[in-house]
Amino acid sequence: MSDPLIIGGQALSSRLFIGTGKYSRNTLIPEVVEASGSQVITVALRRVDPDSNDNIISHIPDRMILLPNTSGARTAEEAVRIARLAKASGLGNWVKIEVINDQKYLLPDNAETIRATEILASEGFVVLPYMSPDLSAALRMQEAGAAAVMPLGSPIGTNRGLRTRELLRILIAELDLPVIVDAGIGRPSEAAEAMEMGAAGVLLNTAIATARNPQLMASAFRDAVAAGRKAYLAGLGPVEETAAASSPLTGFLD
Amino acid sequence: MGFYETARRLSEQADSEIWEKYTKDDVMRTLRKEQLDERDLQILLSPAAADCLEEMARCALRLTRTHFGHVMQLFTPMYLADFCINHCTYCSFSSIYDFPRKKLSPEEVRQEAKAIAATGIRHILILTGESRKESPVSYIKECVKILREYFSSVSIEVNPLSEDEYKELKEAGVDGLTLYQEVYHEETYRKLHIKGPKKIYRNRMDAPERGCRAGFRTVNIGALLGMYDWRREALFTAMHARYLQDKYPECEIGVSVPRFRPFLGEYNPEHIVTDRALVQIILAYRLFLPRAGITLSTREPSALRDRLIHLGVTKMSAGVSTEVGGHTLEGGTPQFEISDGRSVQEISRMLRANSLQPVYKDWDILESV
Ligand code: SF4
């Protein structure tokens, strides 16, 4: 069954996006990439040091689409500058906008994110904004030319799962864009649930990077995302409060 | 307003027997809570918690790894000048000591920068004594300009400045401020700071907030442990950090845990902070401030540093000299004696052996593109 996710004109067969932060060593990255089957990987431009002999980029397999993120940005202007810098240094034209003004919980600033989306989309970037799941903000990002939106399941790095479930549901129902759940997912079952709800994909970092065996966890997420997607496509059966008879009780009336 | 009001309120309570009233049950309950308040902080710093260090350590490690991952940010200090007009009883740079003072010339700054940058480190913390004559803001700016060619991030640890001066330095490319209160207990503060502008307790206490307002990305505070009852000092430090976090959510607030070290003079602190106490402080900071960076300097011996990396610490100095020009010049006077003299490479090796990734660069100051 071919069921690609199309973003920025690219067809992706894997709906699992992964990150490069928090690993105990960069040499784990190729192994995790392999086990996850992922095709898109985020990298924080602030951590990229071309002069270092352990440059993070050199650990990412060539087949991957790089998704530089603007982590560290506190304003739309900073995000825009980081994105342009990433492009200028040859990291491609995809960008995950992260504008965070709240260092206590690391919650994204939707207003600044909308502004950055407008600017970067108009410059031809494939823009994926990380956001708090708020419908009107998401609609404005869509209008501004985002290629997908990336609402959080719960605050970054918390592994708390889909605490924003109801809001994600609304975003998935209302937007014409892919909704990729980013941040908060801690378990494969939660990734599966997001996919069952109709999310187009999930992005994960902490859950894999901080697992005892990151490679094995990556492959668990690969399976979970695929299973959740299949369930969504298959159409989940309705949940009934009382037992439903399998043949209609009022069929005789026809 | 400012933290001073909170500090006054805390002072009235903290000198009484607040620490004794908590039990092990209180500690265990606190460890199950999601958001800790002032009372929880007291509980974690209390004698009752001293019996629960293992339980606290497990929570702290989990929090550190989820929020920061398996990484440790490295930085190194660079001493620019040791001229000082203050007399602080615990410091070799104090104006009463007679030794040839120096400050780095622009060429020497460049030479030091090159030597440090060659180790791979991209984050630097510059330090001076307090002398508006020898190391004025204009001098610091001049040095920053050179350092920006070699480093992604330049932080300062200098005498308290005005908000405008901080803004000026931010414009020049400084992105972080470190400023220790030294001792929060006001009476002790007055005793230890005998001469010079540093005597003004409140000017120092309000300076980190001026730094937040000036827009520094990171502001790092701390108490020099050993000067007064550590439970109380840690309580004030953590509350100060929380105050800044709440009021300036855009600024990354960090805390340090410097313990007193031998120096030129005779002063010996009255309040010994044992390794156990230091661990309790670090754990309490991590649990109370889950997202705050915790810095550990080379004041601590290497064997202990190697253990503390699993308890909540997220930033470490490496390849350290506390002398002006200590990386390339001869004959400086160290501000205090360091304990862990390992090179950047050695520290990195130790971190890797402990399954942690040393991070040399975590941020770039953005130029317009
Ligand atoms: S602690 Fe600072 S202000 Fe005090 S004497 Fe030393 S250098 Fe001067």
Most informative mutation of B87, B94, B98, B103 for ligand 1 (most atoms within 8 A of CB): B94
More confident residue, B239 or A21: B239
Q: For ligand 1, say whether the CB of B243 is within 6 Å of any of its atoms.
A: no
Task: Identify any residues that bridge with B72 across adjacent strands, giving them in sequence order.
Answer: B358
Q: What is the pLDDT of residue B230?
A: 94
Residue of A nearest to B369 (CA): A81
Would you call A230 a catalytic residue per the annotation? no
**Three-state secondary structure call for residue A90:** coil
ipTM over 0.90: no
- Of the residues B93, B127, B157, B201, which should be mutated to test ligand 1's pocket, given the most ligand atoms within 8 Å of the CB? B93
Residue B360 touches partner A, C-beta closer than 8 Å: yes
Lowest-confidence segment of A47-56, B169-178, B357-366 by average pLDDT: A47-56
The pLDDT value given to residue A122: 95
Q: Decide if pLDDT at B266 tops 90.
A: no
**pTM of the entire structure?**
0.86
Pocket flag, ligand 1, residue B88 (CB < 6 Å): yes
Mean pLDDT, all residues of chain B: 91
Residue type, A45: L
Q: What percent of chain A is predicted at pLDDT more than 90?
A: 59
Which chain A residue is nearest to residue B241, measuring alpha carbons? A104
CB contact under 8 A, A209 and B69: yes
Whether residue B331 is predicted with pLDDT greater than 80 in this model: the reply is no
Centre of ligand 1 from the C-alpha of residue B158, in Å: 9
Tens-digit pLDDT profile for residues A53-104 = 678 888 888 899 999 999 889 999 999 999 998 888 888 899 999 999 888 8
pLDDT at B163: 97
- Mean predicted confidence (pLDDT) in A175-197: 93
pLDDT at B369 over 50: no
Do the chains contact at A103 and B253, CB–CB below 8 Å? yes
Q: What is the pLDDT of residue A156?
A: 79
Measured in Å, residue B131 CA sits from the centre of ligand 1 at 10
Q: Please state, in angstroms and rounded to a whole number, the distance separating the CA atoms of residues A244 and A36.
A: 39
What separation in Å is there between the alpha carbon of B129 and the centre of ligand 1? Answer: 5
Half-sphere exposure of A68 (CA within 13 A, CB side): 26
Looking at residue B368, its pLDDT comes to: 46
Q: Are B158 and B140 in contact (CB under 8 A)?
A: yes
The rounded percent of chain B whose pLDDT value lies above 90 is 73
* Range with the largest mean pLDDT of A24-33, A197-206, A236-245, B255-264: A197-206
Which of B272, B349, B363 shows the shortest CA–CA distance to B309? B349
Q: Please give the full DSSP string across B139-198, using - where no structure is assigned.
A: HHHHHHHHHTTT-SEEEEE-S---HHHHHHHHHTTEEEEE---B---HHHHHHHEEESGG
What pLDDT, on a 0 to 100 scale, did the predictor assign at position B15? 67
Structure confidence at residue B29 as a pLDDT band (50, 70, 90)? very high
pLDDT more than 70, % of chain B: 98
A95 compared with B13, residue with greater pLDDT: A95
B369 contacts A103? CB cut-off 8 A: no
Q: B253 touching A, CB under 8 A?
A: yes
Q: Which of A43, A103, A208 to mutate to test the interface with B (most CBs of B within 10 A)?
A: A103
> Average pLDDT of chain A?
89
Q: What is the pLDDT of residues A205-232, one digit of tens each?
A: 989 998 889 999 999 999 999 999 999 9
Q: Does B356 touch chain A (CB under 8 A)?
A: yes
Q: Which residue has the higher pLDDT, A2 or A49?
A: A2
Cα–Cα distance, B17 to B7 (Å, whole number): 17
Given this model, what pLDDT does residue B366 score? 63
Q: Which residue did the predictor score with more confidence, B160 or A52?
A: B160
